[in-house]
Amino acid sequence: IEAALEKKDFKKLTEFLELADKYEVRKSIRFKAWLETGLYYQREGHHSDSVVALSVARVYQPANIKVLNGLFTSLNEFISEFRDRFSTEDLVAISEQVRSLLEYYNAEKLWNSPSIQQGRQIYRRINYLKIDSTSAVETPASHKVDRIVKALRENVTMDEVAADYARIMAPVFLELLAKDIDEGRKIKKKKSKKKKLQDPPEGQEKEKKK
């Protein structure tokens, strides 16, 4: 991989990267290889391939400016290329993944960084395109959209996995808490009712004492 990087032989580099995990190539090398491959695809105008490669690089260094700038630039170029050919389903699928990215970087206090501002503009643009889009089973963009969505969904950090799990579980957790509170109220009500039945009226209590 290092030799292919040095020679800028991106065809071989892409082939080698598929085996990088298997042979436990150093993470720093894998990061650099995916980054350079993504930027190469960007220069060549293969923007969907660029997003896929850079999404892998992002896992190794989530806050790397070069990665984020490259990823959002390629995604924006991809949207420009297919803007008149997206279906509603294509746009919804992309917007969901972009929103997940933005939620993560907001939690990481990077909401106002230039890279994330670019991502926010892309998210607004996608939602604007949805207004005039139409539903379709498949479009000329669908295959590329599927690859991008799969890459963004699967190449996530452990922090993102934890945050996503927390987001999914939050409503369930709140529902369980509500049930506990409701059950507690019922038990308290039953105990209060039982106590009233057991306690004699005030007049009867005085008569017993006499």
pLDDT at residue 83 in the model: 93
pLDDT at residue 20 in the model: 75
pLDDT band at 119 (very low <50, low <70, confident <90, very high): very high
- The residue type found at 83 is R
Please report how the helices 142-154 and 47-60 are oriented relative to each other, as an axis angle in degrees rounded to 10: 0
Tens-place pLDDT, residues 79-91: 999 999 999 999 9
Task: Go through 167-188 and write b for each residue having 16 or more CB atoms within 10 A of its CB, e for each that does not.
Answer: eeeeeeeeeeeeeeeeeeeeee
Asked if 53 contacts 43 with a C-beta cutoff of 8 angstroms, the reply is no
Q: List alpha helices for 108-200, DSSP H.
A: 114-131, 142-154, 158-198
The token pair at 105 is 């970087």
Tens-place pLDDT, residues 130-187: 999 999 999 999 999 999 999 999 998 877 776 666 666 556 655 666 676 666 666 6
- pLDDT over 90 percentage in the chain: 54
Residue 92 has pLDDT above 80, yes or no: yes
Q: Report which of residues 12 and 120 the model is more confident about.
A: 120
- Residues 6 or more apart whose CB falls under 8 angstroms from that of 56 comprise 34, 38, 151, 155
Tens-place pLDDT, residues 23-47: 678 888 889 989 999 999 999 999 9
Q: Report which of residues 24 and 64 the model is more confident about.
A: 64
pLDDT band at 201 (very low <50, low <70, confident <90, very high): low
**Mean per-residue pLDDT over the chain, rounded:** 83
pLDDT band at 75 (very low <50, low <70, confident <90, very high): very high
